[in-house]
Structure 1
Amino acid sequence: MVHFGLEAWRTFERGCEREWFVTNGLGGFAAGTIIGANTRRYHGLLIAALNPPVRRFLLLAKLDERIEAGGVFYNLATNYTAGGATESGFVHLVRAQFCPFPEFFYCCGHIQLRKLIFMPHGQNATVILYRVTNAGPPARLILTPLINYRDYHGNSYRGQISFHQEPIADGVRISGPEGLPPLLLRISNGEFSAAPDWFYGMRYPEEEARGLNPWEDHYQPGRFTVELPAASEKVFAVVAAAGPGPKPEEAEALLAAERERLAAVEQAAGFADSFARALVRAADAFLVQRASGAATIIAGYPWFTDWGRDTMIALPGITLLTGRFQAAREILELFGAYVREGLLPNYFPDDGGEPLYNTVDAALWYCQAVYKYFQYTRDEDFVVKTALPAMREIVTRYAGGTRYGIVMADDGLLKAGNPDIQLTWMDAKVGDWVVTPRHGKAVEINALWYNAACILEEFHARFKLPDPLPGLAAKIQKGFRAFWHPAGYLYDVLREEEKEAKIRPNQIFAVSLPFSPLSQDEAEAVVRRVEAELYTPYGLRSLSARDPDYKGHYAGDQRQRDAAYHQGTVWSWLIGPFVTAYRKVHCYSPDSQERARVYLSPFQDHLADHGIGSVSEIFDGDWPHRPRGCFAQAWSVAEVLRAYVEEVLEKRAGRG
C-alpha cells in the first residue's frame, strides 16, 4: 500500500505533482491528480478505447462532489481556471491511499466520505465507489458530472459538440457525436436531476507548460443527489460506461473480481519480494487486448499506444518475467505477421490504417525478444514454425538492403537512414531540424545486428536447419572494431565523413545484450565510462553532462523539449541494460549483485511519485532529476523489473 497525508498537498502545486491512474486491459484508462484537479487534457474518469487499444475518447472528465449539511456547504471539487485554483476542495482531503486502486478520504465536519476508483477489466467503464458516514443531522451529497466527447489528444469547447440526453431509471444516457456509443451515467442509490449547463474555461497547467493549448469547456448534464440520513452510513456507486456497461449495484462484486484478478497476476509471477510484486502489478497496466483479441503492449500512459520498438523492448519484463507466456506468444505472432521487407511496424495508427515502418531497430529487438521468449518457455514449435521465418526475413533483407537505406556495408556493419530521416530510438525532430542525427552506422543498431546474427546462428544449429548467411556474425564482429575509440569507449555513429564521438548510452547494448562483440577489457571500459558520465539514480543520461550540447532540464514548448529529449534527458529504461552490463563485466560476483540492488533501489521510492505505482518515462538530467514525460512507461517498468529479478534476485532463465 502507498499512502499520503496532508503534507503531500500543502499547496495546490504540490498536490498536482502526483498522479493516479487505473486501466481496463483495452487501452482505456482513468487518471487524475491526487487532489482531484485535472491538470492535463489526458485526465478524466473515463477515457475509453473504442477500437482497442486505439480510438481513445474522453467521455467523463470529472465528477465533482459537494456536501450540504445543516446550511453549511463543503465543496470537495478542485479545479483550475483563468484565476488559478478557483476551487480548492483538497483542503477537506485528509488521506489518499493506493492498494492498488486510488482511494480518497474527506472529512467535512461530522461527515466522512471515502471514494475508490477502478475500472472493470475488459470493459470501457469506470466505477466510483462511495462510502459516506454521517454522524450528525440529515445532509445530502451533490455529484456534478463534467462530460466531453473528444479524442483524448485534443480540446473542445461549447458549440463544437452537440449533446443529447435522456433519463433512464437510475441515471442518464448522453449521446455525443454520431457513430460513438452513448455515455451511460448510473447511480445505485441516488437521483439524477437534469439541468444542462457548461463548465467554462478549465485550464490545464501541464499542457500550458508544454506550450500547448490549456483551455477546455465541459458539458454538465445535471446532477446526482444522494440523501444522507442522520446517524447513518451509505455505500453506493456511480458507473460511467461507453454503452450499456455494468450495473452500479454490481460495484462491490466487480471490485472483488478485479482484486482477485490482480492477485492471480501476482501469484502467477511467483515472487515473494515486495518490490518485484509491485512491479508485476505495474506491468499489468500495459498488457492489453486488441479488438482482434490478440495481446499487445501499450508503450505509455497517458498518450502512447502500442509501438513496435517499445513493445519488443518491454516484452520480456511485461510478459516473460510475469509468467504471461501466452500473451508473449500472441504479441510476437502479431508483430511477426506484419514483417514487411524485413521491417517490423513502428506504429499502428489510431485510425486503423496501414502500419508505419520507419524504424531500423524494432526488427532487431524482435529477434532479441524471440530469444528471451525461447529461454523462458522452450517453445520450439513456435520458434521454428512462426518466429524463425520472420527472423530470417529480417536478417536476409537487412543484409541485402531494404527501405530507408538499411543495408549491410562491405565491412559487415549495418547502415541506415539519411540526414532527413531518423530510424533509431533517438528520433527527436523539430520541423526540418534533426536534433540528434544518427544516420549511418549507429553503435546500438550494430550491437543488435551482431546479437541477431548470433541468435540465428544458434537457432539454426540447435534445430539443425541450414543457415542462409553462414559466417555473418564473425564478419560483423570484425567490422565492429571500427567503433572502438582510443579513449576507451565506443563511437556513437560511424559515417564516411566522420565518427561521432559524443558519449551516449547506446554503447551499453554492446555489453548488455546476450552476445557481445567486445572483449572483456573493452566491455569493462565501456561500463566504467557509462557509469562515470551517464549514470543517475533514475537511469542513464542520453548525453554526457560534459558535452557542450547537454541539456539538463526537459521543459518548455515542443521545440525546447525535443531539443533536450536525447541531449541529456535521463531515460529510466536504460537502467536495465546498464545493470545487466555491470553484472556481466563483474562476472556476477556477490559485490556486483549488491551494487545492482543499490542501482535499482531509487525506483522503489519512485513508485510513490509522479504516476503512482509505476515508473516514469524520463527524468531531468540535472539534480534533483524531476520525473517528466509519460507518468507510466512500459519499457521503464519492464526493464526495472527484468533487471531486478534477473540481476538482483538472480532468477533468470538459463541460456542454452
Structure 2
Amino acid sequence: MLISLEKKESQHFSYLNKMQIAKDLNREWLIANGLGSYASGTLSGTLSRRYHGLFVVAQTPPLGRVLFVSKIEEELVFSNKRFLLSSNKWSGSENFFPKGFLHIQSFYLDEDIPTWVYQCEDVLLEKKIFFEPEKNSIYITYKVLSETIPNDLKIICKVFINNRDFHGLNSEINVFSKIDDKSIQFLSKEGKLLFSSYSNFRNSLVDDTIYYNYLLEEERERGFSFIENHKCAAIYTESISNVNNNLNIIISTEHDVNKDCKNVLQKIKNKNRINLLKYSQNDYTPNWIRQISYAAHHFIVRRESLTDKNAKSILAGYHWFGDWGRDTFISLNGICCATGQYSTAKSILENYAIYLDAGMIPNRFPDYGETPDYNTADASLWYIEAVANYLMHTQDLDFLKRIYSTLEEIIESYYHGTRYNIKCDLKDGLIYAGEENLQLTWMDAKADGIVFTPRIGKPIEINALWYNALKNINQYAIILCKENNLYLDLIKRVENNFNKYWNNDAQYCFDVIDGPNGNDDSLRPNQIIALSLKYCPLDFKQKKCIIDICGKELVTYFGVRSLAKRSSQYKGQCFGNYLARDSAYHQGTAWSWLLGVYAIAYFKQTQNASVAVSFIEPLGKHINDYGVGFISEIFDGDSPYKARGCIAQAWSIAETLRAWKVLAPYLDPLKLENPFLNNSRSP
C-alpha cells in the first residue's frame, strides 16, 4: 500500500512529479556548505558536467575545489528483482543505462534540501542530501515511505570517487580505500587521508573498480572535453526489515564528525526559518520568493582573513565562479542586508577592506595563490554602494568611523588616478577608465586575446556609481566632522556634466562617452543601473524615456538584454564553444540580475509597484526549470529565452530578493493572487 504524496506537492513550491522530471532530465540540484564546498548533479542522477559531484571540497576555502565523491548509485532488491535507481550516459551511445530516472516518483526541495522519492512497484524510498553548515560533512539519508514493505527488501549503495580539480577531467584515479570497524577511509597514493565515510549500514566492503567513459553532455555542448572515469571504491548493503529503518551514509573530511543526522537536519531548518523570518514578515510573500530566500545562504562563504578566521565573502555563482569583488558588492544588499544578516554583511565589508590596494577592491581571487586580481573599474564603487546600503539598514556609526578611511582612499585614488588608466577627468569630474586589451566593467568577456566589450572611456554606470559614492562620502564626512570641500566640488562638476550622456537624437543615454571612437550610442542596460541608484542627475523626462525604450527593447521574460536587437553586433543565443559563448555574453544575452534593477528603476520613476513587481515575477516560473530553487546567470536574448551559464548566480538571487523587499510594502496583497501579472515584453 502506498502513502499519498499530495500533501507534499501542496507543501513544496519546488515539487516536480514523475512526468515533469521525465520531460527534462537535465534539471539540476545544488547545495553548499558555507565553505565553498558543494554537491550538485541532475535530478535524473546522470553526471552531465565536470562540475557535478556529491562531495566537491574547497581545500582553501572558499576555493581550491576538488572532486572527491562523484555520486552514490543505489539499487533496491526484493522478490528476486533488482531495481537500479541510478542513471548514466556513456560515450559511444546516446542512450541511458541504467535508466533509474524511470523510478523517480517525485523530487522536491524540503526548504532547500534536495529530496527524491523513488517508486519500485509498491515500495517508496525517500532520499535526502544535505551538508552540515560550515563543515565538510555531507549526509545522504534513506527512509522507506511505504506503509508495508517486502520481507526481503535490501538496499545496495555504491560510492563512486575521484580526486581531481573540479575544473579538470582525470587521466587516472589515485585514490585507495581501506576499511575498519568505524569507517571506510579514502587515501591518496602517498597514503594521505583525503576523506572518510561512515554509515549505519551493517554490511560494507571496499572495491577498486574503475568505470570508464561517462559522457558529460553539457561539456560536449560547451565545446570542452566530455569523457570522464570514476572509481567504485565502497559498497554498502542493508536489509530493510521495517518502515522505521532510517539509513544514512556520511562522507566527511572532518576529524570530529556529527553522526546525528536528525540533529544536523534540524539545525539547517532552524537556520532557514530564522533567515526567512528576517526577510519576510508578511503573509503575502509568494512561495517562489520564499524559496529563493532559502537559496541566499548558499552563496555566503568563509574567507579567512589575517584578523578573522571566520570572515565572510560571497561566491559569485555555481558551479565555476569564485568570490569576485564586483559580484560580492552588487549581491551584498540582497543576499545579506535584505535577509537581515547584518553581521555577515559587515564581515564581508571589513574583510575586503584589508585587500584594498591603490584605492581598488580586488576583482577576483585566484583558485590557488594569495595575490588577487584588481582588473576592475567598478568593484570599489560598488563597495561604497554596499557600505551605504549596510549603513542605511543599521545606522552603525562605529563601523562608519572604522571604514571611513577606506572610502576616503577609494575616492582619492580615483580622483588622482590609479591602475589601468582609471582617473578623474578634472574638466568634467567624470571617471575615465580603460586601456587596450583590458576589460574593466561588468561587461568583461575576453577570449583568445579578444575583448568583446572594451568600453574604454567613461562608461555610464561607472560614473553613476561615482556620483553616488561622492554623495554618500560627503554625507559621512558631515556626520564625522571631516573635510568635504573636494566632495562638494566633484558633486557639482558631475551634476553639471552628466548630461553629456544624453543622446538627444536617440532619446536615451550613450553607453560610453569620450572613448577612442567618440561616444558609443549602443542601446545597453547600463543606463538602467544609473536610474536604480539612490542619486541620479538625469531629469524626469530623460528617465522616463530610458524606462520606456529599455522596457520595449531590452527587457525580456527572464532577463534584460545586454544589447538591443537593433545593433549589428547583437547575438541572440549564447551557446557553442567558449569563443562563441564569450562573444555573445554581453552582446544580446539577457541577464537576470538586471530584472531586479529594472523593477526598482521603474518603481522609482512611476511609483507603480504592481507593474514594477511584474518584471521579476516570471522568474518564479523559471526556478524549477534549470537549477531547481535558484535563478540562472543568463538567458538567451531570443525567444524562448533558454537559461544558460551558471545554474545558480548570487546577484540574480540578490537583486530579485532586493526588488521584492523594496516593492512589497507598496503592493496590494489582493492583487497578488495572479502569480503572473500581465506585462508587455519585447519579442
TM-score between both structures, scaled by the size of structure 1: 0.94
From 572, 579, 586, the counterpart of 1:559: 579
2:615 match: secondary structure: helix
The structural deviation recorded for 1:181 is: 4.7
| 1:461 is the counterpart of 2:481 | no
Q: Which residue of 1 aligns with 2:102?
A: 91
Q: Which residue of 1 aligns with 2:115?
A: 103
2:15 match: secondary structure: strand
Q: Which residue of 1 aligns with 2:124?
A: 112
Q: Which residue of 1 aligns with 2:365?
A: 348
Which whole-Å CA distance do the structure 1 matches of 2:256 and 2:31 have between them?
17
| C-alpha distance after superposition, 1:168-222 (max 9, x if no partner) | 2244101126596522112112311223111111111011111011111111113
Which whole-Å CA distance do the structure 2 matches of 1:105 and 1:593 have between them?
40
- The residue identity in structure 1 corresponding to 2:250 is V
The structural deviation recorded for 1:464 is: 2.4
Measured at CA, do residues 245 and 198 of structure 1 come closer, stay the same or move farther in structure 2, by a change above 3 Å? farther
Which sections of structure 2, spanning at least 5 residues, go unmatched? 1-11, 668-683
Q: Which residue of 2 aligns with 1:267?
A: 277
Which sections of structure 1, spanning at least 5 residues, go unmatched? 652-656
The structural deviation recorded for 1:50 is: 2.0
Which whole-Å CA distance do the structure 1 matches of 2:294 and 2:21 have between them?
26
From 340, 348, 361, the counterpart of 1:331: 348
From 481, 485, 500, the counterpart of 1:482: 500
2:301 match: secondary structure: strand
Measured at CA, do residues 521 and 239 of structure 1 come closer, stay the same or move farther in structure 2, by a change above 3 Å? same
1:584 match: secondary structure: helix
- The residue identity in structure 2 corresponding to 1:336 is A
- 472-481 or 370-379, which deviates more: 472-481
Measured at CA, do residues 245 and 551 of structure 1 come closer, stay the same or move farther in structure 2, by a change above 3 Å? farther
Moved over 4 A (4+): 177-181
Question: Do 2:74 and 2:85's aligned partners in 1 also have CA atoms closer than 8 Å?
Answer: yes
Which whole-Å CA distance do the structure 2 matches of 1:536 and 1:30 have between them?
31
Q: Which residue of 1 aligns with 2:153?
A: 139
Which whole-Å CA distance do the structure 1 matches of 2:614 and 2:192 have between them?
50
| C-alpha distance after superposition, 1:537-589 (max 9, x if no partner) | 21210000121111111110000100110011010111122111111111x2x
Count of residues paired in the alignment: 639
The structural deviation recorded for 1:650 is: 4.5
Which whole-Å CA distance do the structure 1 matches of 2:193 and 2:434 have between them?
43
Q: Which residue of 2 aligns with 1:574?
A: 594
Question: Do 1:186 and 1:247's aligned partners in 2 also have CA atoms closer than 8 Å?
Answer: no
1:10 match: secondary structure: helix
Written as runs of structure 1 = structure 2, the 5 A alignment for 1:505-544 is 505-544=525-564
Which whole-Å CA distance do the structure 2 matches of 1:199 and 1:6 have between them?
28
Q: Which residue of 1 aligns with 2:429?
A: 412
Which whole-Å CA distance do the structure 1 matches of 2:258 and 2:470 have between them?
54
- The residue identity in structure 2 corresponding to 1:239 is I
From 591, 604, 607, the counterpart of 1:584: 604
| 1:608 is the counterpart of 2:619 | no
| C-alpha distance after superposition, 1:136-193 (max 9, x if no partner) | 2313211111101111111113xx3422221022441011265965221121123112
| 1:443 is the counterpart of 2:463 | no
Which whole-Å CA distance do the structure 2 matches of 1:270 and 1:647 have between them?
12
From 328, 333, 348, the counterpart of 1:316: 333
The structural deviation recorded for 1:106 is: 1.1
Which whole-Å CA distance do the structure 1 matches of 2:97 and 2:128 have between them?
25
| 1:256 is the counterpart of 2:269 | no
The structural deviation recorded for 1:365 is: 0.5
The structural deviation recorded for 1:245 is: 5.3
Q: Which residue of 1 aligns with 2:4?
A: none
Which whole-Å CA distance do the structure 1 matches of 2:59 and 2:485 have between them?
44
Which whole-Å CA distance do the structure 2 matches of 1:451 and 1:181 have between them?
52
| C-alpha distance after superposition, 1:115-136 (max 9, x if no partner) | 1111110111110000135622
Which whole-Å CA distance do the structure 2 matches of 1:437 and 1:514 have between them?
27
| C-alpha distance after superposition, 1:245-303 (max 9, x if no partner) | 5254x112211221112112222334332444323212111112224210111111111
Measured at CA, do residues 451 and 177 of structure 1 come closer, stay the same or move farther in structure 2, by a change above 3 Å? farther
Which whole-Å CA distance do the structure 2 matches of 1:525 and 1:565 have between them?
26
2:356 match: secondary structure: coil
Question: Do 1:184 and 1:244's aligned partners in 2 also have CA atoms closer than 8 Å?
Answer: no
Q: Which residue of 1 aligns with 2:405?
A: 389
Written as runs of structure 1 = structure 2, the 5 A alignment for 1:354-393 is 354-386=371-403, 388-393=404-409
Question: Do 1:573 and 1:635's aligned partners in 2 also have CA atoms closer than 8 Å?
Answer: yes
- The residue identity in structure 2 corresponding to 1:280 is S
- 618-627 or 125-134, which deviates more: 125-134
From 169, 174, 178, the counterpart of 1:166: 178
Which whole-Å CA distance do the structure 1 matches of 2:201 and 2:237 have between them?
9
2:388 match: secondary structure: helix
Written as runs of structure 1 = structure 2, the 5 A alignment for 1:177-192 is 181-192=193-204
Which whole-Å CA distance do the structure 2 matches of 1:299 and 1:550 have between them?
26
1:535 match: secondary structure: coil
Measured at CA, do residues 162 and 459 of structure 1 come closer, stay the same or move farther in structure 2, by a change above 3 Å? same
Which whole-Å CA distance do the structure 2 matches of 1:202 and 1:180 have between them?
27
Q: Which residue of 2 aligns with 1:80?
A: 89
Measured at CA, do residues 179 and 24 of structure 1 come closer, stay the same or move farther in structure 2, by a change above 3 Å? farther
| C-alpha distance after superposition, 1:508-540 (max 9, x if no partner) | 122111110211111111111111110112121
Which whole-Å CA distance do the structure 2 matches of 1:51 and 1:466 have between them?
42
| C-alpha distance after superposition, 1:398-418 (max 9, x if no partner) | 111111011111221111111
Q: Which residue of 2 aligns with 1:41?
A: 50
- The residue identity in structure 2 corresponding to 1:509 is I
Measured at CA, do residues 343 and 650 of structure 1 come closer, stay the same or move farther in structure 2, by a change above 3 Å? farther
Q: Which residue of 2 aligns with 1:654?
A: none
Question: Do 2:279 and 2:293's aligned partners in 1 also have CA atoms closer than 8 Å?
Answer: yes
| 1:287 is the counterpart of 2:307 | no
The structural deviation recorded for 1:232 is: 5.1
RMSD between aligned alpha carbons?
1.7
- The residue identity in structure 1 corresponding to 2:264 is L
Q: Which residue of 1 aligns with 2:670?
A: none
From 624, 627, 634, the counterpart of 2:640: 624
The structural deviation recorded for 1:78 is: 0.2
| 1:424 is the counterpart of 2:441 | yes
The structural deviation recorded for 1:454 is: 1.3
Identity of aligned residues (%): 35
- The residue identity in structure 1 corresponding to 2:491 is A
The structural deviation recorded for 1:223 is: 1.1
1:121 match: secondary structure: coil
- The residue identity in structure 2 corresponding to 1:641 is L
Question: Do 1:171 and 1:191's aligned partners in 2 also have CA atoms closer than 8 Å?
Answer: no
Which whole-Å CA distance do the structure 2 matches of 1:41 and 1:58 have between them?
9
Question: Do 2:68 and 2:163's aligned partners in 1 also have CA atoms closer than 8 Å?
Answer: yes
| C-alpha distance after superposition, 1:585-633 (max 9, x if no partner) | 11x2xxx111012112112222222111111111111111111111111
From 213, 216, 224, the counterpart of 1:201: 213
Q: Which residue of 1 aligns with 2:9?
A: none
The structural deviation recorded for 1:95 is: 1.0
Which whole-Å CA distance do the structure 1 matches of 2:21 and 2:310 have between them?
41
- The residue identity in structure 2 corresponding to 1:266 is L
Question: Do 2:456 and 2:516's aligned partners in 1 also have CA atoms closer than 8 Å?
Answer: no
Which whole-Å CA distance do the structure 1 matches of 2:226 and 2:262 have between them?
36
Question: Do 1:484 and 1:490's aligned partners in 2 also have CA atoms closer than 8 Å?
Answer: yes
Which whole-Å CA distance do the structure 2 matches of 1:432 and 1:302 have between them?
24
- The residue identity in structure 1 corresponding to 2:108 is Q
Measured at CA, do residues 317 and 404 of structure 1 come closer, stay the same or move farther in structure 2, by a change above 3 Å? same
Q: Which residue of 1 aligns with 2:322?
A: 305
Which whole-Å CA distance do the structure 2 matches of 1:523 and 1:383 have between them?
32
Which whole-Å CA distance do the structure 2 matches of 1:531 and 1:462 have between them?
39
| C-alpha distance after superposition, 1:293-338 (max 9, x if no partner) | 1011111111111110000000000111111111111111111121
From 490, 506, 521, the counterpart of 1:472: 490
